[in-house]
Amino acid sequence: MTIDKDKMLEYCNQFSKNTLMETLNIEFIDAGEGFLVAKMPVNSSVHQPMGLLHGGASVALAESVGSAASHFFINDKNQEVRGIEISANHLKSIREGFVIGTARIIHKGRSLHLWEIKITDEAGNLVSLCKLTNMVLTKEKQ
């Protein structure tokens, strides 16, 4: 599979309009064979009450980047992707700046995709480690 990085990023950023990804200011910033990268600002809009990045916001970033990445392994004319399981280990707290989510494919089957998503701070420190399973479905005829 040949990757056109610019087209992938444009596609991902366009389909994020008017969604949770836009609300969280998630921006897709890099792509290649078997991986996709997005960043999200850390500020009060994604804080929990103690002023730290909310674990749910980290999971939203992970599922967003992993689900978007699965789109590049399907025929979107007759298939669609659904996240069916996600797990996250939060390892480091962060109060401000950006977090970067990098999804890498672990297993690419016909009906299931398994992704590892590492969320790091701007210095490259691991903030959260996530695993996402996506199911590939056949679109229903309309």
Which residues participate in catalysis according to the annotation?
63
Distance CA 105, CA 12 (A): 17
Does the structure show a pLDDT above 80 at 142? no
Nearest CA among 53, 35, 57 for reference residue 44: 53
Q: pLDDT tens digits, residue range 3-62?
A: 689 998 999 999 999 999 999 999 999 999 899 999 999 999 999 999 999 999 999 999
Neighbours of 135 (CB within 10 A): 15
Helix (H) or strand (E) run with residue 67 in it: helix 55-70
Distance CA 26, CA 61 (A): 7
Q: pLDDT tens digits, residue range 77-91?
A: 999 999 999 999 999
Distance CA 106, CA 121 (A): 22
> What's this model's pTM, rounded to 2 decimal places?
0.94
Nearest CA among 1, 65, 5, 16 for reference residue 37: 65
Q: pLDDT tens digits, residue range 92-141?
A: 999 999 999 999 999 999 999 999 999 999 999 999 999 999 999 999 87
